[in-house]
Structure 1
């Protein structure tokens, strides 16, 4: 998700005390990097993999940074445009030291792309390098197609052109990563898989709903078909399928369909920023009044109910669930409420066999220079959810 910037479909926001110098000790205790990069466990189910993915964290506002105002045409100029320092081996190793087992890597593939949708080799190489940093620390990496300037919204008005671009992107990405093992997961979309120009939940009508959901279902099926036919380990790679707007209720709607997969290795992704007035609003808006606190018995029950709905709709029917993003803004929020919300979501997800992936941008929850969590109390509460 694109945080601290405008986002279509949903109003979503941005949302270990071992120093970087201790990296060598961690490396000595890891399995050989090459085996993690290339091994594909044939008898390992997606449910087992999701359980093993533990706690995750997003490398937010980094490789998905985009905008016409960005100066320069290098990977670095985009990577640092939204405030992130250049990603280093030490930064990623710090995630592992902090107890995270999964790193989600949002990517804007259009940043360095020719008119025929050919992605610049240097961008593919940079994403591959960051993935290798993750795998070298025996963590799981999720690579996706993120907001990417918002072109995905065009599926509702020019399906064929958008599908051509979508297909070309994934042809190149799957070719790059075809020999990687099952510690690499590919994700079909971010949260842009929704088309409010056709239908939205507040319209009071089902007119256009089937068409809107049909586009998302078609995109996800195309993704699975393309990956499975792209060669190498992609035939058996575990895949992450974006729900409708990655919204819990909209994804649990019967209009959303998981794609057919001959390998039977797909999980579903939703995001969790609820209630929006706490997680998203820093100050009052025309659609809601900002709330600084979270954690009442009713709010806890809503969280548990949402997680139960995901479990009953998907996990209990053989489709594992990854909370690809969860989080909240911190400005104008009670510190204890922020910690309680984040640890409660992580705990509720883990207790149901799901993998929660914290949305984080530069120096909000994790210090990308010191390579450690900023708040040890929050850190320990998250670890308790594992």
Structure 2
């Protein structure tokens, strides 16, 4: 039986092969990129936990009522301030990877340049450093972030300008980090129901919506690869279509062209939902705190 872990939302289901790179090195000593395939990296990542309800918190009310510090956002959704001891505790409990979801719009300039606050960037970097020092893999992503990506079909130029500005800054800030740091292109937001409703039974707009997904992911890879340092060989997580495993396996979903051939695809799998989602009984299901038969544990 598996013990229920509610806070996790991490999956790297498929991995591409990779072209060999530089010599191996200890991440804590020198951040060289090891000669490991992306499949080997994914396998080595082991069990992951999500640092949820911290840096991905968002909302105008936080800016209005907070004190203007990164901590105001970090604690806005009820989580405590992240400490190094907390990160060490994850490692001590057997976790191998930490995913840090981030709403980069927090403390961002409003002049159209989409400049991320130095203080906010430094705080995310501090927590990343703590996790790497604890010998954890770290995934840094762009999360829901207030939902501005939903406007892409109607305001593509501005949305892509913001998306590209975010990843340009993040890539530059972390370009000299070793391969235990992984970037993830997006959370679950790549897919537009206003363009194609997957539940409608119609294919109208389907190719267009998948095209937007593929465009965003390709832009992500291009920015990271051209940003210098270790980013030329960094392992990347590519967000599937709404991170649905079924939709991501659709032929219309395309993995981005990557000169380094170091990409895995990220999907979220919530089956059975009574185990993976419910924390108490609901009208559509009874909460399950264990799951798995002997057969499923062996599969």
The reply to whether TM is greater than 0.5 is yes
Using the alignment, how far apart are the partners of 2:26 and 2:150 within structure 1? 42
Tell me how many residue pairs correspond in the alignment: 271
**In structure 1, what is the equivalent of residue 139 of structure 2?**
142
Match of 1:80 in 2: 75
- Does residue 244 of structure 2 align to residue 250 of structure 1? no
The CA distance in 2 between the partners of 1:156 and 1:210, in whole Å, is: 13
Asked if the contact 1:199–1:209 (Cα under 8 Å) also holds between the matched residues in 2, the reply is: yes
Aligned to 1:184: 181
- Distance, in Å, in 2 between the alignment partners of 1:270 and 1:165 is 24
> C-alpha deviations, 1:181-234, integer Å up to 9, x for none?
000000000001110001122111100000000000000000001100000000
- 1:134-283 superposed matches below 5 A: 134-276=131-273, 279-280=276-277
Residue-by-residue CA offset, 1:266-305 (whole Å, 9 max, x unaligned): 0000011124466446565xxxx4211xxxxxxxxxxxxx
Bigger proportion of residues as helix: 1
Equivalent residues of 1:278, 1:290 under 8 A apart: no
Deviation at 1:14, TM superposition (A): 6.8
Counterpart of 1:52 (choices 44, 57, 69) is 44
Q: How far has the Cα of 1:88 moved from its partner?
A: 0.6
Contact 1:178 1:233 in 2 (8 A): yes
Question: What is the CA–CA distance in structure 1 between the aligned matches of 2:101 and 2:50, rounded to whole Å?
Answer: 8
Partner of 2:120: 123
Partners of 1:66 and 1:158 in 2: how far apart? 21
**Matches of 2:109 and 2:193 in 1, distance apart?**
29
What TM-score, normalized to structure 2?
0.85
Give the SS at the match of 2:146. Answer: helix
Q: Give the Cα separation in 2 of the matches to 1:158 and 1:239.
A: 27
TM-score normalised by structure 1 residue count: 0.67
C-alpha distance in 2, partners of 1:107/1:291? 31
2:27–2:180: 8 Å Cα contact kept in structure 1? no
Structure-2 residue corresponding to 1:290 = 284
Partner of 1:314: none
Unpaired runs of at least 5, structure 2:
1-5, 9-24
Report the CA distance shift for 1:280/1:237 in structure 2 as closer, same or farther (over 3 A): same
Report the Cα offset of residue 83 of structure 1: 1.0
159 and 277 in structure 1: CA distance in 2 versus 1, 3 angstrom threshold? farther
Instruction: Tell me which residue corresponds to 2:290.
Output: 339
Per-residue Cα deviation, 1:73-96 (whole angstroms, up to 9, x for no partner): 110000001111111110000111
Look up the SS of the partner of 2:61 in the other structure: coil
Q: Distance in 2 between matches of 1:273 and 1:113?
A: 33
Post-superposition offset of 1:32 = 6.8
* Structure 1 unpaired stretches of 5+: 1-12, 16-30, 293-332, 352-386
Change (3 A) 1:202 1:344: farther
Counterpart of 1:35 in structure 2 is 29
